[in-house]
Amino acid sequence: MNPRSGPRLMQPNETPRGRKDREESHAEELSALSGKTAPDRTPTRYPADPTRYPAVLYVDDDPNDVRLLHAAWTTVGLRNPLQVLTDGEAALRYLFGDAPYANRADHPMPYLMLLDLELPNISGMEVLKRIRIEPSTRMLRVMLLSASSGWLELEAAHTWHVLRQTLRIDGFLVKPATFHEWVEMVESLQGWLKRSAQTQ
């Protein structure tokens, strides 16, 4: 994805923020969202017409980031149903239609997955590799997210060019540090989803 037309890509020479720095910068943002509760492994959904607004799956174990994305999603008014899971194992069960996610009316197959690299049990990179093997998920659109060490993991595993070619990644997103940046990222995703739908 061109960073000028959608979510910003992390550059190879960019110094990433550490998790501690991001947690400190999130303190004020989360204080305004204190009435919201972080989701568990049960997907959190924003109902909408799936024929017009395909679902987006967000996989991230950081409750602060989940709450900020929820708030940004609502602020922007994005009508695509948002499904949230907190670990790689649950993501694979969801995507493959295994229990408790077998009912596609309640758990629709996503058009796009926002996938954190640093997940418990099964890493984001391993999730990506597994779904590219299965015919049912091989063409799923995927954007990777990372706050810091995920970029180092990315560089160690493959070059960005090789990843895009072999694992068909649509973008690599730098996790925002402020709520304003989360809103900007969701606005970019909204534009990307609209453009993508027009090319179907």
52 phi/psi in degrees, rounded to 5: -105, -30
How far is it, in rounded angstroms, from Cα 143 to Cα 172?
6
Mean pLDDT across 106-114: 94
How far is it, in rounded angstroms, from Cα 196 to Cα 110?
14
115 phi/psi in degrees, rounded to 5: -120, 115
Strand intervals (E) in 60-177: 82-85, 112-116, 141-146, 171-174
Please give the pLDDT value at position 9.
Answer: 44
Please give the pLDDT value at position 37.
Answer: 41
What is the per-residue pLDDT across 155-199, written as a single tens digit (0 to 9) for each?
Answer: 555 556 666 677 888 888 888 889 999 999 999 999 998 888 777
DSSP percent split of the chain into helix, strand, coil, nearest 5: 40, 10, 45
Domain definitions of the chain by residue range: 19-198
Please give the pLDDT value at position 40.
Answer: 40
Q: Taking 80 as the threshold, does the pLDDT of residue 16 lie above it? A: no
**Residue 34's pLDDT band (cuts 50, 70, 90):** low
Q: Which of 3.40.50.2300, 3.40.50.300, 1.10.3720.10, 3.40.50.620 would CATH assign to domain 19-198?
A: 3.40.50.2300
What is the per-residue pLDDT across 58-92, written as a single tens digit (0 to 9) for each?
Answer: 999 999 999 999 999 999 999 999 999 999 999 99
Q: What is the mean pLDDT of the chain?
A: 77
What is the per-residue pLDDT across 128-142, written as a single tens digit (0 to 9) for each?
Answer: 999 999 999 999 999
